[in-house]
Chain A
Amino acid sequence: MHIKTVARYIRRSPYQALAAIMIMSLTFLTISVFAVVTILSVRIIDYFESRPQISVFFEPNTPREQIESARQNIEATGKTSAVNFISQEEALAIYREFNKDEPLLVELVSADILPPSLDVKARIVTDLPELAAVAQTSEGVDRVIFQKDIVDTLSQWTNAFRKVGILIVAVLMVVSIFVILTIIGIKITIRRGEIEIMKLIGASDWFIRTPFILEGIFYSVLGAIIGWAVSYGALMIFGQSTLQSFFNGVPVFPIEPIYMLAVLGLQILLAVVLGAFASFLAVFRYLK
């Protein structure tokens, strides 16, 4: 009964329905894009955090005992989760793999000129400076490189992006609520005569309110599905190839469908809450 009434209300004023669905689609498209970028940023940070966080390079031909001694000094801090020795031969293998498309560079380099090193991972990223300092004081160490700056910068960017994203989504959600409130309000005003008749022939308040609330939820849920579909479609068609080359080797793709389905599920849930809230406001404002 209510579904038929909602269908009739939508059919009778298609342009209002279209406006509501479009603004909801825009809101949920933004939320979807924001969700995808969040997934990507988490993966990028994870990637950098899972790389060796400190690389301790020794002078070429440093005796293995000195390197072991440095390793013990670093492990003695108790703040490491892994310390791996990379020999000159292993360094050459890594170099060759990295430059496999540049045969000239591969030919020019031999194991002798590459330094042996220790790759150190800290338990907590904030301990990196202390570990780096310990490594630096060890005998035979040429230089110490650590990625704290990269991770910090990425984290700062991600946090800033999140804040801006949340702000944009919040503004769009408020706009969406007002759009649905206004459209449902207009529909209630247009149907005042019908509402009066229904009351006179014995309709309960909720019988009259329910179709309007369902209508708001319908606009919102349909907007969520369209917004999600557009963002996922764009990601599938254009995103992966373009963005993957932009991230230059950081393996952020593919985003598994299960993540996108989870995003859709959460958006539908949010849409129901948003649509119901906006229509409730309209119903209580215009149907006193």
Chain B
Amino acid sequence: MIRFQNVSKTYYNTKALDNLSFQIDQGNLVLLVGPTGSGKTTIFRLIIRDLEPSEGEIKIGEIDVHQLHRSKIRHLRRKVGVVFQDLKLLFDRTVIENVMLPLELSGVSEREAKERAQEVLDDVGISHKSDQFPLQLSGGERQRVAIARALVFNPEVILADEPTGNLDIKTSMQIFELLEQINKRGTTIFMATHNDHIIEKTGYRVLYVEGGVLKNDKKSTKKMTPEVKNDEQKPDKEKHEEAKKDDKSEKINLESLKNKK
């Protein structure tokens, strides 16, 4: 689904990514981990062609992202939903207007857009706030709005750039659970995170980047460090299943968290 082949990105004289290669299969949930400035956001920006790579090739399905004609970039961005690190919500629009926006951009009628937005807001559990403005929401609620906006096109891929960055552990796990549910419906999720709870407890495949270099590509375990050697090249799905078995006992009971709320 997403393929990076020897991708490098240099900003002036600084190398942000260095010869990065990886592949994410369709329907997987993969975590992207690394310290601040390691190149995580650059990877996402390259995927939606907000940046051009200095070298290498990036593919989303059969689309060679950087060979796309400029006029087709918007089509790519409708295929890939993005939950931005800073959310990028429009603060002078209500929740539902924010979620409707991508549909309206593509020419969907206001009535249809509203119906679809309401549906997605229901899915992410925030339909009761649809007429409020983002400033009236909590951090977790804003994240849900950002996820709803990313979901509204029913994209094949969702890129989530540190969606739990400023949230407490309880809310972070709720947001992650939401992304897991979306993933279970077949959407590929590629999520950058610093959240140790998510990394250690969920058992998904983790790409660890540092200094723009892919240092590690394996399923998550406790105390994930760059020194851990690459896991053998198992298919993503197998890694996912194994990780789930390993961490079953330690998983937070998300349902109970939901109920407490």
Q: Which positions in B face A, CB cutoff 8 Å?
A: 48, 50, 71, 74-75, 77-78, 82, 84, 88-90, 92, 101-102, 104-106, 110, 149
Contact = CB atoms under 8 A, between A and B. Distances in A.
Interface of A: 1, 8, 12, 194, 196-204, 207
A203 B107 CA distance: 10
A202 B106 contact: yes
B90 A202 contact: no
Contacts, number: 38
B106 A1 contact: no
A204 B82 contact: no
A6 to B, nearest CB: 14
Nearest to A201: B102
A204 B105 contact: yes
A54 B48 CA distance: 84
A8 B106 CA distance: 20
B90 A197 contact: yes
29 contacts: A1-B104, A1-B110, A8-B92, A12-B92, A194-B90, A197-B88, A197-B89, A197-B90, A198-B105, A199-B74, A200-B48, A200-B50, A200-B77, A200-B82, A200-B84, A201-B77, A201-B82, A201-B102, A201-B105, A201-B149, A202-B74, A202-B75, A202-B102, A202-B106, A203-B105, A204-B71, A204-B74, A204-B105, A207-B105
Nearest to A8: B92
B146 to A, nearest CB: 10
A8 B78 CA distance: 25
Contacts of B78: 202
A168 B106 CA distance: 45
A152 B88 CA distance: 70
Contacts of A200: 48, 50, 77, 82, 84, 88
A196 B88 CA distance: 9
A200 B77 CA distance: 7
A196 B48 CA distance: 13
Given A1-B110, A12-B92, A197-B90, A202 B84 contact: no
A204 B73 CA distance: 9
Nearest to A194: B90
Contact of A202 (B92, B105, B110): B105
A50 B110 CA distance: 62
A147 to B, nearest CB: 67
Contacts of A1: 104, 110
In this complex, the member of A1, A196, A202, A203 whose beta carbon has the largest number of chain B beta carbons within 10 angstroms is A202
A8 B133 CA distance: 14
In this complex, the member of A194, A197, A198, A199 whose beta carbon has the largest number of chain B beta carbons within 10 angstroms is A197
A1 B92 CA distance: 15
Contacts of B75: 202
B101 A198 contact: yes
Nearest to A208: B105
A202 B77 contact: yes
In this complex, the member of B50, B84, B88 whose beta carbon has the largest number of chain A beta carbons within 10 angstroms is B88
Nearest to B89: A197
B92 A201 contact: no
Nearest to B97: A4
In this complex, the member of B71, B89, B106 whose beta carbon has the largest number of chain A beta carbons within 10 angstroms is B106
Given A197-B90, A201-B77, A202-B102, 13 more contacts: A1-B104, A197-B88, A198-B101, A200-B48, A200-B50, A200-B82, A201-B88, A201-B105, A202-B74, A202-B75, A202-B78, A202-B106, A203-B105
